[in-house]
Chains A and B, each alone.
Chain A
């Protein structure tokens, strides 16, 4: 096992006495004051997360690079200053990674990919794209997420400019005389921004943001609960190369009116049907479903939990998982069976679980 990598803000986390833990090959803050406290501050005020472990690639000569066929996003139709969520698929339609593509300018793009998949993505995209068009800038790029209903106000104070970005919009802003890219995206269901910059600028921003008493540092523990309350998939848990966007209920993000690798497989799957389908479920107790718990329908084992948590907003356990075809109907009663005889009664539901976030404020 390689040594865990440290983000440029590692010393800040140590200074704040964060509980650190491994994630995707990195040593990351799991929590500072407490997971539920940080979750609550993000839902009510604003929380800042160090997400520097995630990968960033740049693409030059966007339209001549061959990227349009390499990913599901209709890159040619993304307007400059906008981003789109989508996937890198294999020929079978399996998800190699999920990613956001920002069109920075007419002919330049930035791709934001998962931490653990940087190497794999570079290899796959490198094979699919024109030589020299793709560059991995992950090691010199820090990423801070500021999320929460007060995040716009707080970030405007620090940057000294108005942030009129629409949802999934992006733009360059000047912080301390240096350029940072800000995208209005996130993983929490709240109004929020993701800020890409050099490590020094990130350190400055981190400290400036935390001078505001309305901002709390938050770790990956809170982030996991926040994303699960929205039903956002986590790569490696809820989606991977063995699942297609159709099985994962993410067809909304697929544009069939363009060519992309994996498209034929998805169309075939639509015609022939799928063997498994992702479901979301909410339990009738505070007990937390956990990854790898079995999903039962009237005592028949029909699937497996891929993510689960206790949700403070819903005061109940909730989770996602995959079930055999025919058992995915919303409203169905299921039992989640864990280790040591744990049995949780749950009901299949639509997403998001939590519907009162400030995401589109």
Chain B
């Protein structure tokens, strides 16, 4: 698993990156009530907005941690958006991206670096 400063996580399997928000982000957001559905088949660049996420407290944006084509979107989110905050790092994944440059993922933070980063912003 890799992590971004904007609190997304990426799990890499072959050329596919599964993307979601971190436990930390989920805790900050509170119960998620709406996730804008990313468009399957769309090309996205690292750092571009993947989707909007809304919670009972705020609206925020999820940025794509990698570049590539949006291959799949979590179908559970539409009916059960709360899954993104209740199980953010497993069943609450947001999208799967076919990476155009897999080296981007390995440039992100690992679990320990992300843990250290969170402590600096607390």
- Bound pair (A, B): yes
Q: Is A310 an interface residue (CB 8 A)?
A: yes
User: Are A317 and B52 closer than 8 Å at their CB atoms?
Assistant: no
Q: Is A302 an interface residue (CB 8 A)?
A: no
How many angstroms between the C-alpha atoms of A361 and B82 in the bound complex?
Answer: 31
Q: Mark A214-245, 1 if CB is under 8 A from B, else 0.
A: 00000001000100000000000000000000
A221-B56, A225-B56, A287-B54 are contacts. A36–B34 as well, Cβ < 8 Å?
no
How many angstroms between the C-alpha atoms of A260 and B62 in the bound complex?
Answer: 53
- Chain B residues with Cβ under 8 A from A131's Cβ? none
Question: Closest approach, in angstroms, between the C-beta of B79 and any C-beta of chain A?
Answer: 9
Question: What residue in chain B is nearest A309 (Cβ atoms)?
Answer: B56
Q: How many residues of A contact B (CB 8 A)?
A: 19
CB-contacts of A20-40 with B (<8 A): 31, 34-37
Cβ contact of A34, chosen from B30, B36, B81, cutoff 8 A: B30
User: Are B31 and A287 closer than 8 Å at their CB atoms?
Assistant: no
Q: Is B5 an interface residue (CB 8 A)?
A: no
Q: Mark A278-309, 1 if CB is under 8 A from B, else 0.
A: 00000001111010000000000000000001
User: Are A317 and B34 closer than 8 Å at their CB atoms?
Assistant: yes
Question: Closest approach, in angstroms, between the C-beta of A29 and any C-beta of chain B?
Answer: 14
- Chain B residues with Cβ under 8 A from A312's Cβ? 33
Cβ contact of B52, chosen from A31, A36, A221, A342, cutoff 8 A: A342
CB-contacts of B53-109 with A (<8 A): 54, 56-57, 59, 61, 81-82
User: Are B33 and A31 closer than 8 Å at their CB atoms?
Assistant: no
- Chain B residues with Cβ under 8 A from A34's Cβ? 30-31
Question: What residue in chain B is nearest A224 (Cβ atoms)?
Answer: B56
- Chain A residues with Cβ under 8 A from B59's Cβ? 288, 290, 338, 342
User: Are B81 and A286 closer than 8 Å at their CB atoms?
Assistant: yes
User: Are A288 and B54 closer than 8 Å at their CB atoms?
Assistant: yes
A35-B57, A36-B82, A288-B59 are contacts. A340–B33 as well, Cβ < 8 Å?
no
Cβ contact of A286, chosen from B30, B34, B61, cutoff 8 A: B34
Q: Which A residues lie at the B interface, using CB under 8 A?
A: 31, 34-37, 221, 225, 285-288, 290, 309-310, 312, 317, 338, 340, 342
Give 4 closest A-B pairs by Cβ, nearest first: A310-B33, A35-B56, A286-B34, A36-B31
Q: Which B residues lie at the A interface, using CB under 8 A?
A: 30-31, 33-34, 36, 52, 54, 56-57, 59, 61, 81-82
